[in-house]
Amino acid sequence: MSDGRRTNVPPHANGGDSPAWKALAPQLVEEQSGNDAPPLDGVVVARSVPAQAGMTARFLAGFYSGLASAGIPAVGAERLRVKDSAVDAFSREDLSTVDDLDTEAGRLALVLLLAGASPGSYGVKKTADDGVLPAIPTRAGG
């Protein structure tokens, strides 16, 4: 049921045809696998360039916010020792974060988040407000 509000959910996240995404993806996406028709199970965002400013920063903020509101796990991830952390930018737009992806704990945190663990900020840096790892999700009756 819709409440009449528009959301910033990227059309690609829900599956189906997305001509704007097809036009922009070569400039925005470094690596992608799979087909663009079915809905996504989750999204991982990593920054591979210096922090952006101005209109590009505003575009990315809206993009991250849309991913976070898509109803699927959306995680901003980075390695432990990066010069310019993106964790704050990801967190401001409600993406879950993992700040130590190059460690075993970081990779486990990412897997747990993509499997449906409680969203939050995980890792070993000061920005990891929710601890090193999320709680392991369990299935009822399983």
What integer pLDDT is reported at residue 99 of this predicted model?
A: 97
Query: pLDDT tens across 90-138, in order?
Result: 999 999 999 999 999 999 999 999 999 999 999 999 999 999 999 987 7
For the segment 46-88, what is each residue's pLDDT rounded down to a tens digit?
998 899 999 999 999 999 999 999 999 999 999 999 989 999 9
The DSSP-derived string for 72-141 is: S-EEEE--SS-SS--HHHHHHTT-EEES-TTSHHHHHHHHHHHTTPPPSEESSSTT-TT-SSPPPP--TT
Whole-number average pLDDT of the chain: 84
Q: What's the confidence (pLDDT) of residue 26?
A: 76
Q: What's the rounded Cα separation, in Å, for the pair 69 and 84?
A: 25
